Amino acid sequence: MSQKYQIIIQPAAQKAIEEAYFWLSNDSSSKARQWLEGLYKAILSL
């Protein structure tokens, strides 16, 4: 049985995630959205 952990995204990390998303969206909004969804999916899998 795998354990689930409560993940708390600290404000500095949240800001970095948002900055990366906006940087990526300058190139492609769909790729940025895909990256963000993948990131949160990976976080939720912990």
pTM for this one? 0.80
31: in domain = yes
User: Can you state the percent helix, strand and coil of the chain, rounding each to 5?
Assistant: 70, 0, 30
Q: Are 32 and 25 in contact (CB under 8 A)?
A: yes
- pLDDT for the residue 44: 87
- pLDDT for the residue 1: 60
37: in domain = yes
- pLDDT for the residue 42: 94
- pLDDT for the residue 24: 96
3: in domain = no
Number of C-alpha atoms within 13 angstroms, CB side, residue 39?
Answer: 14
6: in domain = no
Write out the residue range of the structural domain in which residue 33 sits: 11-44
- The total number of structural domains that make up the chain: 1
pLDDT digits (tens, 9 = 90+) for 1-46: 677 788 999 999 999 999 999 999 999 999 999 999 999 999 988 8
Q: Are 42 and 7 in contact (CB under 8 A)?
A: no
CA 43 to chain centroid, in Å, comes to 7
